[in-house]
Chain A
Amino acid sequence: MPDTPVKVIVDLSKPKGQRESIVPLTAEEIAERDAMAIEAQAEQEAREAEEAAKVAAKESAIAKLTSLGLTEEEALALVG
């Protein structure tokens, strides 16, 4: 990958074959992109953690129900 990230711009006002240009990102765009990456990473981690917590809670509930004598199929029917 190049050192400076680039963007592909497709100018549809131009004839086919002349529309595509590769443009290096400006310093401002790179800074904006870096900030967005940090924010997106945090959001993604939060979502992944939430998803993992839901799965863990479900598994825990099934384990507790089966320890009470339910079959796993019965426990799954209750937990959903």
Chain B
Amino acid sequence: MQLIETIEVGSGGAASIEFTSIPQDGVDLVLVFSCRTDNATVHLSTYVTFNSDTSANYDWLFLRGSGTSADSVSVSGDTKGWVGYIPGSSSTANTFGNTAVYISNYTSSAAKSFSSDNANETNAASVRMAIDASKWSGTDAISSIQLFGSSDNFVQYSTASLYKITAD
């Protein structure tokens, strides 16, 4: 697995992080991020879109646990793919949520499946973990990925790293 690029959000925060012109010489991609939002919540959902596609081409299903209960959520025909929770300003200060998104066969001309595992350990009673199975119906090779929260901004020191897995 080869690191393509890693980004750290600066002091002004950022609404989204977008990797463009993704090299097409890999087999799979892995997007790893450690983020926190300034939204006044404890757990905020994060999403990805591919190739700037915001049509209803994303299906996703996640299984989550909160420490006291577990359930699952399924959405079809969404305009974005769910990938994980991150802590907000109502959670313990300086805690960040970790997520790894695995995108298989990103250059194929078929629909792309992707999955994620997420830990939103807030160092408090309210925690979340989740695993997610998703599909993007797009048939073009993935050349860009945008990562964003459902509202507000990623705070300073949030990071996102994109890796590629090659056949070598």
**Bound together:** yes
Q: Which residues of A contact B (CB under 8 A)?
A: 1-2, 5-14, 16, 19-20, 22, 25, 32-33, 36-37, 40-41, 44, 47, 50-51, 54-55, 58
Contacts of B14 in A (CB 8 A): 5-8, 22
Q: Which residues of B contact A (CB under 8 A)?
A: 4-5, 7, 9-10, 12-23, 38, 41, 45, 54, 66, 68-69, 71, 73, 80, 146, 148, 150-153, 162
Q: Is the CB of A33 within 8 A of B151?
A: yes
Contacts of A33 in B (CB 8 A): 15, 148, 151
Contacts of A40 in B (CB 8 A): 45, 150-151
Listed by A's residue number, 10 A-B pairs whose Cβ atoms lie within 8 Å are: A1-B13, A5-B15, A10-B18, A10-B19, A10-B162, A16-B5, A19-B5, A41-B151, A44-B45, A51-B69
Partner of B69, one of A10, A13, A41, A54: A54
The docked-state distance in angstroms from the alpha carbon of A36 to that of B45 is 12
Closest partner residue, chain B, to A40 (CB atom): B150
Partner of A8, one of B16, B21, B22: B16
The docked-state distance in angstroms from the alpha carbon of A9 to that of B4 is 14
Given contacts A6-B13, A7-B15, 7 further A-B contacts (CB under 8 A): A5-B13, A5-B15, A8-B17, A10-B19, A12-B162, A25-B15, A40-B151
Known contacts: A1-B38, A2-B12, A20-B7. The answer to whether A12 contacts B18 by CB under 8 A is no
